[in-house]
Amino acid sequence: MNIDRKTIRYLRYLRDVYGNKIILNKDLLMNELEQYKKEIENCKKCILGESRIKFVFGDGNPNADIMFVGEAPGATEDQTGITFIGRAGKLLDKLLLNINLQRSDIFIANVLKCRPPANRDPLPSEIAICEKYLHKQISIIKPKVIIALGRIAGKTLIKQELALGKMRGKKYNYQNVDLYVTYHPAAILRNPNWKDSIVSDFQMIAKKYL
Ligand code: URA
């Protein structure tokens, strides 16, 4: 089914006004996200557009209540175009399962859509360009809550340079959506002592928003 963006926007407006009385087909929302993906997937606005193999848009349920934001694609994501499918992604799957969720229940995207060479930290100029894409994804998905995974996603979304421990455990706001920051699953792989903290963060968020 091919529905133009204006119609989709109108249907979304009806959903916002009438809430649950209007049932919006998940495919319609996917349609809008898919269309947006097509608009941006050939991006060459920064040098990462030259070195990437695949543009990693984000994956999951376009109607999700919970949206996760990671840092940037790693090597496996760059090869496949799919977010969080490497080792950190496998751990994320376990953490989700622990709160009775699967990938198909959530949406997950990164601050950057292209892999920085050798997984270096994203540059501020790259974040400034790519964050606009994240903004638009959030405005299409309209999640109830965003969970930023790790320091880079956290500082990008809360707009403050803080240590992760200082960002954790507080409710922020991003584009009028509640936002929490927790550890990046890759950090847990490096330091399993933090596992209890991320488990309790996920549990707190599940209790509040599911
Ligand atoms: N780490 C991230 O931040 N994002 C991915 O997609 C994979 C690993």
The CATH code of the domain that includes 63 is 3.40.470.10
Task: Tell me, using a 6 A CB cutoff, whether residue 88 lines ligand 1.
Answer: yes
The answer as to whether 2 is a domain residue is no
| Mutational pocket test of ligand 1: of 52, 53, 59, 71, the residue with most ligand atoms within 8 Å of the beta carbon | 71
Task: Tell me, using a 6 A CB cutoff, whether residue 71 lines ligand 1.
Answer: yes
Burial 160-195 (b: 16+ CB within 10 A, else e): eeeebeebbeeebebeebbbbbbbbbbbbeeeeebb
| Mutational pocket test of ligand 1: of 48, 67, 77, the residue with most ligand atoms within 8 Å of the beta carbon | 77
What pLDDT tens digit does each residue of the chain (210 aa) get?
Answer: 556 666 766 777 777 776 655 556 666 666 899 999 999 999 999 999 999 999 999 999 998 999 999 999 999 999 999 999 999 999 999 999 999 999 999 999 999 999 999 999 999 999 999 999 999 999 999 999 999 999 999 999 999 999 999 999 999 999 999 999 999 999 999 999 999 999 999 999 999 999
5 CB neighbour count, 10 Å cutoff: 12
The answer as to whether 1 is a domain residue is no
Domain residues for the domain of 92 are: 44-209
Q: What is the pTM of this model?
A: 0.89
The answer as to whether 20 is a domain residue is no
Confidence (pLDDT) at 180: 98
Confidence (pLDDT) at 1: 53
